[in-house]
Copies of this chain bind each other. A is one copy, B any other.
Amino acid sequence: MTVRSTQAVQDFYPDDFAHCYGCGRLNAHGLQLKTRWDGEETVARFTPRPEHMAVPGFVYGGLIASLIDCHAMGTAAAAVERAAGREIGDAPAPRFVTASLRVEYLKPTPLGPELEVRARAVEVGERKVVVHATVSAAGQVTATGEVVAVRMPDSMTAKSTPKERR
């Protein structure tokens, strides 16, 4: 099966949960990463800004970790929905948070080209999803990630004010 979706998970997070610096559509200062299905994998693309450097010519590791992190949360949401028979856009996306993040930096990531982040949910539970990811630049994988995503705990929704809730 090859399903290529133009819908991004992050466009279906409820407004209260759409402010993430890495991927929130409502965060004007953030990176606004978008996670979409591409067959059995998910893909996100991001072109680092000039200031996102480690040393001249290379992307800083924190950005790579951030891209993997947010893309993994989107992938977790998409995978749980697909397991329930829904595609992105059929319903509000469930919001996952990171329990653990592991990134292996295989080689320096050049600053300039668009980065491609690909991921696959390798374990899909209702409350916990394990995601494997790669980051590529100009067709070369420069980093890999393994992320454990868990459903957002109630303690993280308590700070929304009544006004902010829809």
Contacts and interface: CB of A to CB of B under 8 A. Distances in A.
Interface of A: 16-17, 19-22, 24, 27-30, 49, 51-58, 60-63, 65-67, 69-70, 95, 97-105, 107-108, 152-153, 155-161, 164
A32 to B, nearest CB: 12
Given A20-B60, A101-B102, A95 B55 contact: yes
Contact of A108 (B49, B57, B97, B108): B97
A55 B154 CA distance: 12
A164 to B, nearest CB: 6
A55 B153 CA distance: 12
B51 A30 contact: yes
Give this chain's copy count.
2
A159 B110 CA distance: 10
A34 to B, nearest CB: 15
A19 B105 contact: no
A156 B55 contact: yes
Contact of A60 (B21, B100, B105): B21
B152 A55 contact: yes
Contacts of A103: 65, 98, 100-102
Given A20-B60, A61-B66, A97-B108, 16 more contacts: A20-B53, A21-B63, A22-B60, A22-B61, A54-B97, A54-B156, A55-B159, A55-B160, A56-B161, A57-B156, A57-B160, A61-B98, A97-B105, A99-B105, A101-B105, A108-B156
